[in-house]
């Protein structure tokens, strides 16, 4: 927005310092003059007094007072300009950093030294904001690159299938149709996951009263056929866990956690434990599953987008690698916390903590 030019803050502070010094000087000289007049009477009649008269004091005092005022004005302007410059030096550094950030340089930090005051608190807050923005931008760039790669894969497969069908007119149409449908379904699943991530990142949803225990039961019933197919036993227990949020997103959260626990489990004899509980001002959803032994460094990366299991490879049930990333985004959008821990003996424990709804 275009603004009309005006006085700088440094000039305004300088004029304020000089003006205050002038006012203080006038009051001080006025007090001295009044004090002197009380003890110097006028001579009665035309008889001279032995000592100075008021007139003599006026002749001697006012020129000197004017000189003092001129000195105070010059001293106030010069001293105020220097003091204002020193006081506003941190603000100049903050302004320079802001302009660099506006030009696209997010790696610069102010790192203002010295003891804590308002300027240093502002600089520290600005540095923290830049760090957060830089991390978010880097994450979005990685996400865009990974999304482009993931979307390119099914499109390339479909293009290859169509090229093969064109070069082999005798190929059965049913087989081609089945493979195209499978690849297209995977592309649609990935696109829906990306849209869901975008929706949760922007927090464009209405908050309602939700019971996490009911959502956990619903997710368990939905995924029961998958659990039976994989030979996994699902056990759901817990108390009523009221919270505020989007029922659809929180159901997606519990479904993703349960699906991940079923797919990444021991074959034929795996177990999934789903528990809900109230802990003070929070509600807690815990999903545990048996499986391979996981290291803490690997567990720390499981919420990264497009990370698939321990080997990061495609399988029939691996999905798009966005399951736990979506869970993390939904938890963050609901002002909660997400914690992943490896279980002793193998498997993973996922703990979701959300604010409790108090009617």
Q: Is the dihedral of CA 208, 211, 216, 222 positive or negative?
A: negative
Averaged pLDDT of the chain: 80
Tell the residue number behind the tokens 């479909």, with chain if given: 158
Least-confidence region, from 72-76, 192-196, 299-303: 192-196
Q: What is the pLDDT of residues 242-289, one digit of tens each?
A: 999 888 888 888 988 998 899 888 887 899 999 999 988 899 999 999
What average pLDDT does the segment 143-155 reach? Answer: 67
Token pair recorded at residue 343? 């279980």
**CA nearest to 83, candidates 23, 20, 27:** 20
Q: Give the pLDDT of residue 116.
A: 80
Q: What is the pLDDT of residues 28-49, one digit of tens each?
A: 888 887 777 666 666 555 555 5
Q: What is the CA radius of gyration of the chain?
A: 37
Q: Give the pLDDT of residue 89.
A: 83
**CA nearest to 236, candidates 274, 265, 272:** 274
Distance of CA 335 to the CA centre of its chain: 12
Distances, alpha carbon 338 to alpha carbons 116, 300, 303, 326, in Å: 33, 11, 10, 11
Of 61 and 93, which is predicted with more confidence? 93
Task: Classify residue 356 by its DSSP letter.
Answer: B
**CA nearest to 291, candidates 266, 271, 260:** 266
* Cα 8–Cα 13–Cα 14 angle in degrees, nearest 5: 95
206-221 residues labelled b (16+ CB within 10 A) or e (exposed): eeeebbbbebbbebbe
The verdict on pTM exceeding 0.75 is no
């Amino acid at each position: 927005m275009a603004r009309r030019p005006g006085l700088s803050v440094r000039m305004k502070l300088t004029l304020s310092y000089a003006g205050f010094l002038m006012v203080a000087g006038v009051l001080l000289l006025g007090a001295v003059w009044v004090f002197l007049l009380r003890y110097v009477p006028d001579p009665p009649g035309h008889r001279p007094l032995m000592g100075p008269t008021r007139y003599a004091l006026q002749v001697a005092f006012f020129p000197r007072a004017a000189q003092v005022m001129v000195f105070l004005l010059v001293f106030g302007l010069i001293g105020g300009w220097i003091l204002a410059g020193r006081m506003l030096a941190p603000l100049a550094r903050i302004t320079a950093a802001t302009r660099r950030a506006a030009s696209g340089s997010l790696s610069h930090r102010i790192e203002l030294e010295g003891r804590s005051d308002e300027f240093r608190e502002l600089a520290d807050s600005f540095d923290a904001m830049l760090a957060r923005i830089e991390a978010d931008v880097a994450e979005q760039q990685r996400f865009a690159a990974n999304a482009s790669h993931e979307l390119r894969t099914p499109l390339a497969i479909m293009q290859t299938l169509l090229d093969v069908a064109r070069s082999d007119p005798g190929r059965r149409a049913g087989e081609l149709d089945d493979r195209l449908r499978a690849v297209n379904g995977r592309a649609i699943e990935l696109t829906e996951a990306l849209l869901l991530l975008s929706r949760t990142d922007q927090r464009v949803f209405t908050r309602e009263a939700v019971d996490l225990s009911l959502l956990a039961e619903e997710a368990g019933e939905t995924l029961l056929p998958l659990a039976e197919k994989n030979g996994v036993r699902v056990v759901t227990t817990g108390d009523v866990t009221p919270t505020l949020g989007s029922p659809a997103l929180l159901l997606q959260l519990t479904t993703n956690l349960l699906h991940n626990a079923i797919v990444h489990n021991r074959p034929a004899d795996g177990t999934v434990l789903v528990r809900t509980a109230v802990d003070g001002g929070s509600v807690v959803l815990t999903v545990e599953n048996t499986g391979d032994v996981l290291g803490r460094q690997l567990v720390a990366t499981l919420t990264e987008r497009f990370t698939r299991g321990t080997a990061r490879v495609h399988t029939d049930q691996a999905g798009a690698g966005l399951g736990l990333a979506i869970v993390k985004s939904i938890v963050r959008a609901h002002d909660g916390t997400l914690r992943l821990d490896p279980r002793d003996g193998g498997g993973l424990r996922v703990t979701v903590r959300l604010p409790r709804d108090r009617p």
